[in-house]
Structures are given as C-alpha cells and as structure tokens.
Amino acid sequence: MTTPIKDITFLPLDHPGAKDLTYRARRDEIAAVTLAARLEGKLPPAIAYTREEDATWKTVLGKLKPLHLDLASKSYLAARDLLPISTEEVPQLAALGQALRDFSGFSVGAVEGLVDGRTFLGAFAEGKMLCTQYIRHASRPEYTPEPDVVHEVIGHVPMFMNPDFVAFSRLIGQAALKAGPEDLVKLERLYWFTLEFGLIQEGRDTRIYGAGLLSSFGEIQHCLGAEVDRRPFDLSEVVNTDYEYSQMQGKLFVIDSFEQLRKLSEPFLNSIIHG
Ligand SMILES: [Fe+2]
C-alpha cells in the first residue's frame, strides 16, 4: 500500500517472476491496459487471461477453498458464494464490480499495482476498492509478495457485500481524504488490522475475515495458532499498534460483529472527517 505507483513494473530479484521475461512482459501488458482505462475513468478493462493464468487461479482456489470452509467467517463464505467467482478461470473485475454494486452499492476499480495509502483508502470514500488484475507467478502458486488478483478477489471483494463492513470502509475512506500524516498512519493501522488481518468471533469459533489472511497459505494456518496474540478489538490499541508488512503477524484483533466494528470506529473516524 505504500509503494509509489511509478514503481509498479519493478520486480525485486527475489520475486518469483523476476527472471521470467515473458511473465514480466505480461505484467507490463496488463498494467498498460489497466492504466489506460483508469486514466479515462472507465470500468476495469476485460483481461483475456491465458490458459496458464487460469491454471494458476484454479490451483490456488483448489487449495484455499477447503481451508476457507474451516476457517473463514460465515459472512465471508455466504457472500463469496453469491458472487460470480469461478474456480476454473480468473474472474473479470468489471463483472464482480457490477454484482457488488447491485448488492451493496460498493464496487471495484482496477489499478496497475500498489498505490499510496491516501489514494488507496481514499477510494473507499467513493465506494470503490482498487484491485490489481495480474496474477502471481505460476512457479509458486502458493506465494505472492504483493497483492494480485487472487488476493483482491478471494480476499477482499466478498466482504464488501456486508453493509456494516461497507459503511465502515466508506468512513475510513472519507477520513483518509481529510487526515493529516499522523492520523493517516492510524487509519492505515485500522485498515491493516481489519480489512487485511481481521478476525471475528462467531459462536465458539474465532474465524477469519481479513484478506491478507484469507489469501495467504502461510498466514491462514498461522493466525489461529498458539504463537499469535489474539485480543478483543480495542480501537485505541489498534490505531496505536505498529505492524510488520513482510512478516507473519504476531498480534491480531478479534471483533464480535461487523456492526460492532462499525460502531466502535465511527466516533474516531467522524472526528477526523469533521475535525
Ligand atoms: Fe489487500
């Protein structure tokens, strides 16, 4: 969320696709199509995914879905199954955005890669989640160092079917557009420990709703284990807790419901919006 947009085509040497010129060219091609549509204010462009890309999608979903059945929030599972998400081929963002819009009023926009925090969170104010369209490298379907279409579609999109989650996200967006540097850091932490790494108590089970957990093979099996400090959601603690972007999360916060998340966060977010 913090890499400047001009660095999108840069892949570090340890990236699984760094030495694959065909993969890099494909990433550049998708980025160019996405950028052109974004600059013209158009809906996410259709991407003609290759057979290999569809195969990567199918492989990842085939492994993630059984884990989700056991570990994901029931709200997430119910929402995901209402969306046009095929297990055979990479879904098109435009179709997903339309389905979301019809259901909750939220939608998705396409973006070439990581964008700065204010731009990313600010889009929530317009009811839009900015999503990448490229897919991870086929050689390591269980790993991606940055958000790809699997992370966006399987991790994030279904949660925007929930009205309290949508209202909460929109408020984060409105606050991000108004926040000074210190408050922006707090908003990024709130985003991190909820939309990316949130847990929810459902009856006797603690389950997952955060996209960074739902789309990561490592995190999904680690986050409910004994090494993680899971504590009840406390807004003040959340916005004052630093996170590590590239390591397994050691501390996570558990909400009781999405309504509780919205209600507990509203005063803080409104104080920034109207401050
Ligand atoms: Fe994400």
Q: Where are the domains of the chain?
A: 5-273
CA of 131 to the centre of ligand 1 (A): 8
Whether residue 3 has pLDDT greater than 80: no
| 155 C-alpha to ligand 1 centroid (Å) | 7
Read off φ and ψ for residue 137, nearest 5 degrees.
-70, 140
Task: Determine the topology of domain 5-273 in CATH.
Answer: Phenylalanine Hydroxylase (1.10.800)
Q: Is the pTM of this model over 0.85?
A: yes
Confidence bin at 164 (pLDDT 50/70/90): very high
Q: What's the Cα-to-Cα distance from 5 to each of 1, 2, 93, 239, 252, rounded to whole Å?
A: 10, 9, 20, 25, 29
Average pLDDT over residues 239-264: 93
Q: Given this model, what pLDDT does residue 2 score?
A: 39
Q: For residues 67 and 221, is the Cβ–Cβ distance under 8 A?
A: yes
Determine the distance separating the centroid of ligand 1 and the alpha carbon of 209, expressed in angstroms: 12
Residues with a known catalytic role: 151, 156, 196, 215
Cβ 217 vs Cβ 64: under 8 Å: yes
For 28-82, the pLDDT digits (tens) are: 999 999 999 988 989 999 999 999 999 999 999 999 999 999 999 999 999 999 9
Burial 73-110 (b: 16+ CB within 10 A, else e): bebbeebbeebebeeeebbbbbebbebbeebbebbbbb
What are 133's two structure tokens? 């369209």
Q: Give the pLDDT score at 9.
A: 57
Residue 5 confidence (pLDDT) above 50: no
| Beta-sheet strands, E only, within the chain | 107-110, 128-131, 199-202, 205-208, 229-232, 251-255
The more confidently predicted of residues 244 and 262 is 262
Instruction: Please check the confidence at residue 10 and state whether its pLDDT lies above 90.
Output: no
Calculate how far, in angstroms, residue 20's C-alpha sits from the geometric centre of ligand 1.
Answer: 25
The stretch 242-253 carries a mean pLDDT of: 88
Centre of ligand 1 from the C-alpha of residue 271, in Å: 25
List pLDDT tens digits, range 198-207.
999 999 999 9
Q: What is the pLDDT of residues 97-112, one digit of tens each?
A: 999 999 999 999 999 9
pLDDT tens digits, residue range 134-147? 999 999 888 888 89
Give residue 134 CA to ligand 1 midpoint distance, Å: 14
- 30 sits in which H/E element: helix 21-39
Give the whole-angstrom CA distance, residue 236 versus residue 265: 9
In the three-class reduction of DSSP (H, G, I as helix; E, B as strand; rest coil), residue 173 is classed as helix
Residue 84 pLDDT > 80, yes or no? yes
What integer pLDDT is reported at residue 1 of this predicted model? Answer: 46
Q: What is the pLDDT of residue 16?
A: 83
**How confident is the model at residue 45, as a pLDDT?**
95
With cut-offs at 50, 70 and 90, classify the pLDDT of residue 115.
Answer: confident
Dist. CA 160 → ligand 1 center (Å): 13
